[in-house]
Amino acid sequence: MKPALPDGLIVVAKADCPTCRLVEPLLAEIAQAGPLTVYAQDSAEYAADLPSSRYDKTLEHSFHLGIEFVPTLIRVENGVEVERTYGWHKEDWRQLTGLPELGEALPVMRPGCGSKTLEPGISEELELAFGDIRLQSREIDMGSAEDPMEACFERGWSDGLPVVPPTPVRVLRMLKGTSRQPDEVVGLMPPDLVPVTVEKVAINAVLAGCKPEYMPVLLAALEAALTDEFGLHGLICTTMFGSPMIVVNGPAARAIGMNSGVNALGQGNRANATIGRALQLLIRNVGGGRPGEIDRATLGNPGKYSFCFAEAEDADWLPLAQERGIEAGRSAVTLFPGEGVQGIVDQKSRDPESLARSFALSLRTVDHAKLAMAGDAVLVVSPEHARVFIEAGWSKQRLREELEKLLLAPGAELVAGAGGIAEGIPERFKDQQVPKFRPGGLLIVRAGGTAGLFSAIIAGWAASGPVGSSPVTREVTS
């Protein structure tokens, strides 16, 4: 509970501040003129001759007074602060104290020092001790000889790589990245359907190595993951390869320094790596989706560590988020049930028709060349390949329409048994022209370095669609 303010004057000071030492001899004169309370942040000896001097050892009073500089002089009337001044300003001190000749021998002005409450790590400790935020998660006591990083491994909180121990101070610092309350329940986390709070998100963001400013993007990705449309429970439990892949659009991606260029699908960028990792750790640590238990993937894929990147937005091609209904200039994440990365190498096509045929031929192999309307896919077009289409006046939509035509195939070639291959689609499709993907099942994004005629396919989970998992887009908010 915030302590009541004593009426009169309050001085907050530090013994090791030269300006505080400068004004120390004046405090007795001020105390004779009316009520005065002195809070010394670093020493019981400062103004020790004054009965009203207090050693603010815990800094509780300084915290509640919101002290940023010392000395600070405050006037309180009827328990309410009415005025304050910082440092030593002769006229300000004379006005607040009502003593017109105070400090006559002192210089007109001297700057003060930073408050002890603002020292690194101190402000979070004080907020945890005396502030309004109360973390609800259970704290784990560790022995003095216990290595915190090894303890995280031993308790099963890691994905196999080292994690950052989520101390209360680190968690509080992470919570500063969002305006949402720590106890807000974002939803029920599959597969165990455990309530996941903003605080739990912050804990796993710390474990993953996120910065606080990543929290809005991570929360948007989590909200997308928790929708029925995305079907996270099934994606976790499947024996197939898939896991959540995050594509980020808009100003938020640029503000936090996400990579959409060279090696965008690879390592080396903190935001890309840790946002995707934090979502995976939430699945593991909150939802219970651990490999060998609920997670039954036969092979898995490296994206189960982290799979997150930003789209390289271009004025000539509509960004993915806008294609999916997000207003221009807004930030959004699109969550996709992705597998591994399949490269497309075409260094010779210089016209859009040829390159589209290359893409279509490669896209036929998603899941299996004889399977259709099973899994979705993301086509990641590199800038050099995108330029072939853009210079010919092809929009993303034009490319998609062309691919849909090229990906129609005679059902007789795809049915089970055709070509001597038992795998295939049901016999009832043998007399039809069959599309490779369901309507809306092929997403196109632009990403990668500006050198290299290479694009990529990220196959979706074979249970994509209304009965399985569909891409979900959510706007990034605070």
Q: Say how far apart CA 252 and CA 283 lie, in whole Å.
A: 24
Q: What percent of the chain has a predicted confidence (pLDDT) above 70?
A: 99
Q: How many other C-beta atoms lie within 10 A of the C-beta of residue 112? A: 24
| Digit-coded pLDDT (tens) for 228-283 | 999 999 999 999 999 999 999 999 999 999 999 999 999 999 999 999 999 999 99
Query: What separation in angstroms does the CA of 326 have from each of 378, 397, 473?
Result: 18, 16, 8
Contact, 454 vs 343, CB < 8 A? Answer: yes
Which one-letter amino acid corresponds to residue 229? Answer: E
Mean per-residue pLDDT, 2-29: 94
Structure tokens at 301: 């894929």
CA 10, 14, 19, 24 dihedral sign is positive
Q: Say how far apart CA 444 and CA 439 lie, in whole Å.
A: 14
Architecture category of domain 8-119 in CATH: 3-Layer(aba) Sandwich (3.40)
The region of weakest confidence among 197-211, 318-332, 386-400, 460-474 is: 460-474
Mean per-residue pLDDT, 173-196: 96
| Digit-coded pLDDT (tens) for 137-158 | 888 888 788 898 899 999 999 9
In three-state secondary structure terms, 374 is coil
Average pLDDT, the chain: 95
Structure tokens at 45: 């000896």
The predicted structure's pLDDT at residue 416: 96
Q: Say how far apart CA 377 and CA 470 lie, in whole Å.
A: 10
CA quadruple 124, 126, 128, 133: dihedral, nearest 10: -90
Mean per-residue pLDDT, 20-45: 96
Structure tokens at 176: 């500063």
Which one-letter amino acid corresponds to residue 141? Answer: D
Q: How many residues does the chain have?
A: 478
The predicted structure's pLDDT at residue 465: 60
Find the helix or strand (DSSP H, E) in which 28 lies: helix 27-33
User: Which of 265, 260, 351 minimizes the C-alpha distance to 314?
Assistant: 260
| Digit-coded pLDDT (tens) for 373-421 | 988 999 999 999 999 999 999 999 999 999 999 999 999 999 999 999 9
User: Does pLDDT of 468 surpass 80?
Assistant: no
Q: How open is the CA angle 454-459-465, to the nearest 5 degrees?
A: 140
User: Does pLDDT of 134 surpass 90?
Assistant: no
Q: Say how far apart CA 206 and CA 347 lie, in whole Å.
A: 42
Cβ-Cβ contacts under 8 Å for 384 (sequence gap 6 or more): 450, 451, 452, 453
Mean per-residue pLDDT, 298-318: 95
- Quote the strand ranges of 190-272, DSSP E: 194-197, 243-249
Structure tokens at 258: 């996400």
| Digit-coded pLDDT (tens) for 421-450 | 999 999 999 999 999 999 999 999 999 999
User: Which of 442, 378, 133, 117 minimizes the C-alpha distance to 242?
Assistant: 378
Mean per-residue pLDDT, 169-174: 94
In three-state secondary structure terms, 95 is helix
Angle between helices 396-406 and 352-363 in degrees, nearest 10: 60
In three-state secondary structure terms, 152 is helix
Structure tokens at 308: 């997150």
Q: How many other C-beta atoms lie within 10 A of the C-beta of residue 341? A: 18
Structure tokens at 400: 């998609």
Which one-letter amino acid corresponds to residue 361? Answer: L
